[in-house]
């Protein structure tokens, strides 16, 4: 099953994609409500669809397939870490701590972009894409989930583009709290959520999702990788996210950038130069993932944000004057 949201004139529709059409959920349900029901509930709804209410895909504009409750983005590909660390931190390495547990950061759920929606970046000299696959949590979620329980909590998967301003990211990560403003201006998701059961044929013997992921810039292939090159499986990522915490329906968990050119930053780090060139206004990025479809976007004009003053020199006095 494929779950989607779309714009049809002034109306926002939410439902399933079936044979080239979009068909609304029964009873006017929304994606969030369907995610809350879990896969079993979605299957029951699918069996009650009114196909006569469908509209051709070409007659609507797809939106991001969900409004995320939260977005966690992992860094689960060793090859990506090797390359991008050189371009962001000036030193190519995979620190020993990377192997101990799957690290992630939280990004902004309020700047999610849908298929074909342009990204509006900040002023940056090193705009980059990041090709990722994201798991979407459904059902009751939970805390301290085992990997097996976490597998049951995964409703489906979608393509994710974690847009990045590498120069801003590099500066802020030196303060030991990034990334933040280098990434929170846009995250593209789509074109739809493919339910986990549809991707079961792609699981290898170790439980890794062996689908081919590719990214093209202005029609030229820049990178490709098998998603099964992750250091951890998606259930293990969800399990770790829930550790001493909680995951809920609508949570999005990105895999982190695939290796072998899954972003420009990796290539810059390996080559020691900005080739291919950073993204600029008008550039078109197309991501294609086996079993999930394709996600496209163009780069819009950068926006100059409000000025930020430098930190003030303060007296460090311990009493008010």
Give a yes or no: residue 201 inside a domain.
Answer: yes
Taking only the tens place, the pLDDT of each residue in 122-148 is 999 999 999 999 999 999 999 999 999
Considering the domain architecture, whether residues 138 and 247 belong to the same structural domain is answered as yes
Give a yes or no: residue 305 inside a domain.
Answer: no
Considering the domain architecture, whether residues 203 and 125 belong to the same structural domain is answered as yes
Considering the domain architecture, whether residues 176 and 79 belong to the same structural domain is answered as yes
Q: Which residue has the tokens 């547990």?
A: 101
Taking only the tens place, the pLDDT of each residue in 18-44 is 999 999 999 999 999 999 999 999 999
Q: Which of 29-43, 78-92, 303-317 has the lowest mean pLDDT?
A: 78-92
Average pLDDT, the chain: 96
Q: Domain end: 63, 87, 113, which one?
A: 63
Quote the tokens at residue 182: 């280098």
From residue 147, give the alpha-carbon distance in Å to each of 62, 110, 133, 197. Answer: 33, 29, 18, 17
Considering the domain architecture, whether residues 102 and 179 belong to the same structural domain is answered as yes
Considering the domain architecture, whether residues 228 and 267 belong to the same structural domain is answered as yes
Considering the domain architecture, whether residues 228 and 92 belong to the same structural domain is answered as yes
Is 87 a residue whose pLDDT tops 80? no
Dist. CA 180–CA 170, nearest whole Å: 10
Considering the domain architecture, whether residues 86 and 189 belong to the same structural domain is answered as yes
Dist. CA 170–CA 183, nearest whole Å: 11
Residue 113 is part of a domain; what is its CATH number? 3.90.850.10
Considering the domain architecture, whether residues 140 and 34 belong to the same structural domain is answered as no
Q: What is the pLDDT of residue 273?
A: 94
Is 74 a residue whose pLDDT tops 90? yes
Taking only the tens place, the pLDDT of each residue in 149-191 is 999 999 999 999 999 999 999 999 989 888 999 999 999 999 9
Which structural domain, as residue segments, surrounds residue 93? 70-298
Backbone angle region of 19, left / alpha / beta, with phi > 0 → left and psi within -120 to 50 → alpha: left
Q: What is the pLDDT of residue 91?
A: 79
Q: How confident is the model at residue 290 (pLDDT cuts 50, 70, 90)?
A: very high
Considering the domain architecture, whether residues 138 and 249 belong to the same structural domain is answered as yes
Give a yes or no: residue 229 inside a domain.
Answer: yes
Give a yes or no: residue 211 inside a domain.
Answer: yes
Q: Domain end: 63, 82, 103, which one?
A: 63
Give a yes or no: residue 119 inside a domain.
Answer: yes
Considering the domain architecture, whether residues 291 and 179 belong to the same structural domain is answered as yes
Considering the domain architecture, whether residues 38 and 125 belong to the same structural domain is answered as no
Q: How confident is the model at residue 120 (pLDDT cuts 50, 70, 90)?
A: very high
Give a yes or no: residue 98 inside a domain.
Answer: yes
Q: Domain end: 43, 63, 83, which one?
A: 63
- In this prediction the pTM is 0.97
Q: What is the pLDDT of residue 36?
A: 98
Q: What is the pLDDT of residue 85?
A: 85
Give a yes or no: residue 192 inside a domain.
Answer: yes
- The share of the chain scoring above pLDDT 70, in percent, equals 100
Taking only the tens place, the pLDDT of each residue in 206-245 is 999 999 999 999 999 999 999 999 999 999 999 999 999 9
Q: How many domains does the chain have?
A: 2
Is 75 a residue whose pLDDT tops 90? yes
Considering the domain architecture, whether residues 187 and 207 belong to the same structural domain is answered as yes
Give a yes or no: residue 320 inside a domain.
Answer: no
SS3 letters for the chain? CEEEEEEECCEEEEEEEECCEEEECHHHCCHHHHHHHHHHHHHHHHCCCCHHHCEEHHHCEEECCCCCCEEEEECCCHHHHHHHHHHHHCCCCCCHHHHCCCCEEEECHHHEECCCCCECCECCCCEECCEEEEEEECCCCECCCCHHHHHHHEEEEEEEEECEEHHHHHHHHCCCCCCCCCCCCCEEEEEEEEEHHHHHHHECCCCCECCEEEEEECCEEEEEEEHHHCCCCHHHHHHHHHCCCCECCCEEEECCCCCCCCCHHHHHHHHCCCCCCCECCCCEEEEEECCCEEEEEEECCCECCCCCCCCCCCCCCCCCC
Q: What is the pLDDT of residue 280?
A: 98
Is 268 a residue whose pLDDT tops 80? yes
């Amino acid at each position: 099953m494929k779950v989607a949201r779309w714009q049809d004139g002034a109306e926002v529709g939410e439902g399933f994609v079936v044979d080239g059409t979009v068909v609304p959920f029964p009873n006017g349900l929304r994606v969030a409500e369907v995610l809350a029901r879990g896969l079993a509930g979605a299957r029951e709804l699918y069996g009650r669809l009114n196909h006569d209410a469908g509209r051709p895909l070409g007659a609507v504009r797809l939106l991001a397939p969900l409004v995320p409750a939260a977005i966690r983005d992992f860094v689960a590909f060793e090859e990506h870490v090797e390359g991008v660390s050189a371009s962001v931190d000036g030193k190519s390495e995979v620190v020993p701590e990377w192997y101990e547990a799957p690290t992630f950061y939280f990004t902004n759920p309020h700047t999610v972009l849908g298929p074909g929606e342009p990204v509006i970046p900040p002023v940056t000299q090193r705009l980059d894409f990041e090709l990722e696959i994201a798991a979407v949590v459904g059902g009751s979620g939970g805390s301290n989930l085992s990997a097996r329980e976490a597998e049951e909590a995964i409703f489906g998967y979608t393509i994710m583009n974690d847009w990045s301003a590498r120069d801003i990211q590099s500066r802020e990560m030196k303060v030991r709290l990034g990334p933040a403003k280098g990434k929170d201006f846009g995250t593209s998701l789509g074109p739809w959520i493919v339910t986990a059961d549809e991707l079961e044929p792609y699981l290898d013997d170790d439980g890794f999702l062996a689908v081919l992921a590719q990214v093209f810039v202005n029609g030229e292939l820049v990178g490709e990788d098998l998603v099964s090159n992750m250091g951890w499986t998606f259930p293990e990522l969800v399990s770790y996210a829930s550790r001493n915490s909680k995951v809920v329906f609508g949570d999005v968990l990105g895999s982190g950038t695939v290796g072998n050119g899954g972003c420009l930053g990796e290539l810059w780090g390996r080559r020691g130069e900005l080739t291919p060139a950073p993204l600029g206004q008008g550039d078109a990025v197309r991501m294609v993932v086996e079993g999930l479809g394709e996600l496209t976007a163009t780069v819009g004009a950068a926006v100059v944000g409000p000025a930020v003053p430098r930190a003030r020199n303060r007296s460090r006095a311990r009493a008010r004057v």
